[in-house]
Structure 1
Amino acid sequence: MSNPDGQSTDVSELSPEQRLEPPNTRLLNAGIVTINDMETLRECVAYENANQQRIPILRRLKGRANEIRTEDD
């Protein structure tokens, strides 16, 4: 992923705000799909609850949590 300066950004270093407030919905989907651990997911849920409280986004995060749990089994 590139930032405006043209430098690549490690997706694991994205903040919840960067994941959940991108300029378009394709990047929003990518931000959620690339969450690979429960700690990051919890941070994103907390961010969403404290800010936008968008039900569709919270549902996507819940779905991703289920996927992560399944992968860990």
Structure 2
Amino acid sequence: MSAPKGWRLFEMGTTNDEESDEFPPEKRLEASNTHLIKAGIATIPDMETLQECVAYENAHQNRTQILRQLKWKAEELRENEE
């Protein structure tokens, strides 16, 4: 299947590895404003990515507010697993 000139085709399914590579912790957590950081956290797809973000935050800025938001995201992911 080819896309019209100037258009880009997107595959419907992406793996979590592809998502993690596309949005590594530094892109999720080093945004220019808090709204972008919140969006980065909200779009974390799985526990593995979340753990990478927690490790990154602990090693770099160690911001209490960001770590709290990551904790809330972990609780949300756990609830969705059940």
> Which structure has the bigger radius of gyration?
2
- Identity among equivalent positions (%) equals 58
Length-normalised TM-score, structure 2: 0.74
The answer for the alignment partner of 2:41 in structure 1 is 32
The answer for the alignment partner of 2:8 in structure 1 is none
Establish whether residue 63 from structure 1 lines up as the match of residue 72 from structure 2: yes
Establish whether residue 19 from structure 1 lines up as the match of residue 28 from structure 2: yes
Distance 2:30 2:48 in 1: 19
Distance 2:66 2:77 in 1: 16
The answer for the alignment partner of 1:5 in structure 2 is none
Distance 1:60 1:36 in 2: 15
5+ residue gaps in structure 2? 1-13
5+ residue gaps in structure 1? 1-9
Question: How many pairs are equivalent?
Answer: 64
Q: Which digits, 9 at most, give the CA deviation of each residue in 1:9-61, with x for residues without a partner?
A: x9922010000001111110000000010000000000000000001100000
Detail structure 1 runs of 4+ shifted over 4 Å in the superposition.
none
